[in-house]
Amino acid sequence: MFIPVVLRDGHEELVNKVELQNLISKKKILFFRRSEGWVVVGRDRMRELRVPYDGVERRQHNTF
């Protein structure tokens, strides 16, 4: 599934969701389209970017 985006230089592109996350994190997108309509990056609510956890694993993985 491709997502329509408008880049900071005014160009319009279709990108996949991995490319969208990458472009958002690099601050190269002005707008992207959701099913509800256009999202303005920096103004509209978006999911938080997920950063991989780099700490010590604390969950227990004991089996029966």
For residue 64, the SS3 value is coil
Does 53 have pLDDT greater than 80?
Answer: no
What integer is the mean pLDDT of 33-56? 80
Please check whether residue 33 is in contact with residue 40, taking contact to mean a CB–CB distance below 8 angstroms.
no
Q: Which helix (H) or strand (E) holds 18?
A: helix 17-25
pTM, two decimal places = 0.67
| Nearest by Cα to 29 from 60, 4, 62 | 4
pLDDT at residue 13 is higher than 80:
yes
pLDDT given for residue 33 in this prediction: 96
Say which amino acid occupies 1.
M
**Residue where the block lists tokens 């230089």:** 9
